[in-house]
Each structure stands twice: as C-alpha cells, then as structure tokens.
Amino acid sequence: MSQNVDSPLALKPLPYHEAIREYLKTEEPEIWQWYASNRVRAEQADAIRFELLKSTYRVDRDTQPELYAIADEVARRLSLTAAVTIYQAQNPEGLNASLAYVPGEAHLVLHGPVRSRLTEPEFRALVAHELSHLLLWQEWDGDYLVVDQILAALSLDPEAETPHFASIRLLRLYNEIFCDRGALSVAGDPGVCISMLVKIATGLDEVSPESYVRQAEEIFTKKPTKAAELTHPEAFIRARALTLWFDGNPEADAKIRAMIEGQPALDELDLLGQKQVAGLTRRLLDVLLAPKWFQSELVLAHARLFFDDYVPPEALREDELPADAIRTDDAAMQDYYCYVLLDFATADRDLEDLPLAAALTVADKLGLKPRFREIARKELRLRLKQLDTLDEEKEAILADAGQGSAKK
C-alpha cells in the first residue's frame, strides 16, 4: 500500500481485527491454514459473477464514463489496482451500495438512485466505503478475508455456540467502521461521510452533518449505549466514530470499542471475550487458592475441572486480584463469578468455614459481596445470623488459619 502510515488518516485494521486474527491463528491453526490455502475458489468466483448477471443491470463504461471516472479515482486513492465494474441492483429497497467480492476484481453494486440523490462528494465517499471492503480483504496478506471466512463458517456449523455468532457479528460491525475510515481517507471531510450515511439511512435529500454529530453526542451523554444491529452499527455510532478518528482523539479506539461492544455480558461473549473471562477466572482461582491451607487434594482436583493443567501459585501479590477487570454491571456475569467462589467454598467440607470466609473476603474486594451473600445464603441454606457472624469474623478466622499453616 502506498499510504503514509504516519498520517492521522492512515488506514489500518482496528484492534479487534488484529486480536481476532491472532486468536484464530493461535487457537485454530489447522483451520487457519486450510482457509489461508483455499480462500475463494474459481467456481465460487464464477458463481458470484453469474449471480450478478442475473440480479443486476451491468453499467457499461462507454455509457456512463463519469460514473466510472469517479470509481476509478477512488480505487486509485485507495491504492487498489483492481478494475472496477459497476452494476445497478434490480428491485432495490432504499438507497445503498454493496461489494460483491471476487479476488482481484471490484464489483460495485448500486441500490436505488444513489448517484442522483447524493452529491458527488457523498457518492465518492460511498464508493470509497464499499471499495474499502476489498482493501481490507486484499491487503495485510489477505488475513482479514481468512478471518471473515473462518468466522462465517464457524457460525454456520450445526454445533455453533453464542461466541461464534457474537464473533462474526462484531467482526462485521468493525468492518463497517474500517470502511467508514476508508471513505473518510478519500473524502477528507467527516461532514461529507456523515451526510452520506444519514441520507442512506433516512432517504432525506438534505441533512446537516453538524447537527447529526451533536445529536450523536447527546445520545452518549444520556447513558452508555452500544450497537444493537447485526451487520452495520447504527448511524449515530458511525458518525461519532468518524469524528473521533478524524480528530485524532487518543481515546478513539477505546471509545469506539465501548460503542460497539459495551461491557462484557455473559450471554453475549465472543471468542475473545470468552478467552478473557477464562483468563480472569484462572487469576481469580490463583488469588482464592493462594493460602496453603486451601490447597487440599479435593480443592485442587476441582480446580483442574476448570483448567486441566492448574497448579496453584507459589507466591502471590495482593495486587494480582483482577478486581477492575472483573467488576461489571452485567448481572449474569456477576452471578458467574459468585458461583465460582461458592464452588470452591464448598469443594472440601473438611475445611469447614475457612473457604467461605476466604470467598467472602475476595467477593468484598471485587464489589460482589452483597450478591455473593444472597447466593451463599440461598444455596447453603444459612441463617442470616450465621452468615453475618462469619462475615464479621472472617479476617480473624483467616489470620488464625494462616498462622497455623506457617507453623506447619
């Protein structure tokens, strides 16, 4: 690519793209190698071209040279060498454009009267957005095409689970953010890109991008909001993401992630979130099981049901408790961590009240004690007075246990 990587508008994959690529390469090396070797086969490319012939009107270069002049200039600005072919979709719903992917070829499909309804700069931004899909899949050794194909295949498997569906959804949302940046790198003006997005979303002939940016900011001053759509982020998220990137906001990536993903929710974890929660769970066990008295055969056997190679740490610093990472407003996630603590509080009955005292202490540090108390009281059928007494005396109980272990 010929882009200046030091430019504030230099295009590169987003952190999510890079992280999910590394995950698949590391966790699924055989699947990665197969897709990297096969990519899009000739028969697939032929099928795509044939479908375009059936479902669209192919626009000839000779009949609309101005249209092709715009598309060719955009391709050049994006450092794409593929020849562009333009099609008009039959029976379109609304205004839009799409890219039919064939390696080394740019098949641009227009939906509805986008050329006449958008200004030339807006139409140029729309073309740049669609051709940026080709850029994403073609550059970086084609890795992000492989990522897309693997996640799509995993989500279609009969045994697919929530993390597979969540991962392909997040990838596609981030693809749109990347392509919006491609549009901005060509247009050079976020207002042009935002007015294009709003016109396509609403069908209006005239919009004020400045007004819409203020509207988007107002949404996020009311309460934290994350994307709810499956393939494209909401227009207000895309408008704010474009503004953050164009302004060079140092927190742009973090703020965009918050808008796309929000706080981790147990029922919506993608593959990366699942791995992160597993890592946090292991660190939680390290802290909980650090006392020697807690490391009985029964407890360690239970820990190996979570992680088959689990070995308790030899020594542990107090600050290794991942409190900030574990704290969450998601009720299901809170319950998950509480039940992990309760699991180990009851794994070895010979340890009596010590594990529950330790679990109460850790739950307190994680901001989970009220919920943990509710769960423990219900599941263990404790009287409130019993639990209150143990909670009040837990530090002394654990100190005595620690002194006893040290003497041994």
pLDDT at 78 (0 to 100): 97
Does 392 lie in the same domain as 323? yes
The pTM of the full predicted model, rounded to 2 decimals, is 0.91
Does 118 lie in the same domain as 246? yes
CA-CA-CA-CA torsion for 346, 350, 354, 358, nearest 10 degrees? -40
Please report, rounded to a whole number, the percentage of residues in the chain having pLDDT higher than 70.
94
CA distances from 46 to 37, 41, 53, 80, 382 (A): 19, 9, 11, 22, 68
Does 324 lie in the same domain as 232? no
Does 296 lie in the same domain as 186? no
Does 157 lie in the same domain as 89? yes
2 within some domain? no
Confidence of residue 223 (pLDDT cuts 50, 70, 90): confident
Does 279 lie in the same domain as 140? no
Tens digits of residue pLDDT in 17-58: 999 999 999 999 999 999 998 766 778 889 999 999 999 999
For residue 86, give the H/E element and its range: strand 84-89
8 within some domain? no
Does 372 lie in the same domain as 300? yes
CB crowding 182-210: b at 16 or more within 10 Å, else e:
bbbbbbeebbbbbbbbbbbbeeeeebebe
Using an 8 Å Cβ cutoff, are 79 and 3 in contact? yes
CB crowding 265-285: b at 16 or more within 10 Å, else e:
bbebbbbbbbbebeebbebbb
DSSP 157: S
Q: How is residue 268 written in tokens?
A: 């919506």
3 within some domain? no
Q: Of 233, 262, 291, which marks where a domain is finished?
A: 262
Q: How is residue 122 written in tokens?
A: 């807006």
- In single-letter form, the type of residue at position 239 comes to A
**Residue 4, pLDDT above cutoff 50:** no
Does 248 lie in the same domain as 156? yes
Q: How is residue 310 written in tokens?
A: 């689990």
Does 77 lie in the same domain as 200? yes
What's the domain count of the chain?
A: 2
Tens digits of residue pLDDT in 288-337: 999 999 999 999 999 999 999 999 988 766 567 788 888 888 999 999 99
pLDDT at 39 (0 to 100): 67
Tens digits of residue pLDDT in 163-178: 999 999 999 999 999 9
Instruction: Give the residue-averaged pLDDT of 71-97.
Output: 94
Range of the domain at 317: 271-407
CA distances from 275 to 3, 28, 131, 406 (A): 34, 13, 33, 36
215 within some domain? yes
Does 294 lie in the same domain as 175? no
387 within some domain? yes
Q: Of 245, 262, 279, which marks where a domain is finished?
A: 262
Handedness of CA 338, 341, 347, 353 (dihedral sign): negative
Q: How is residue 332 written in tokens?
A: 């299901």
Does 179 lie in the same domain as 97? yes
Q: Of 262, 282, 297, which marks where a domain is finished?
A: 262
Does 321 lie in the same domain as 351? yes
1 within some domain? no
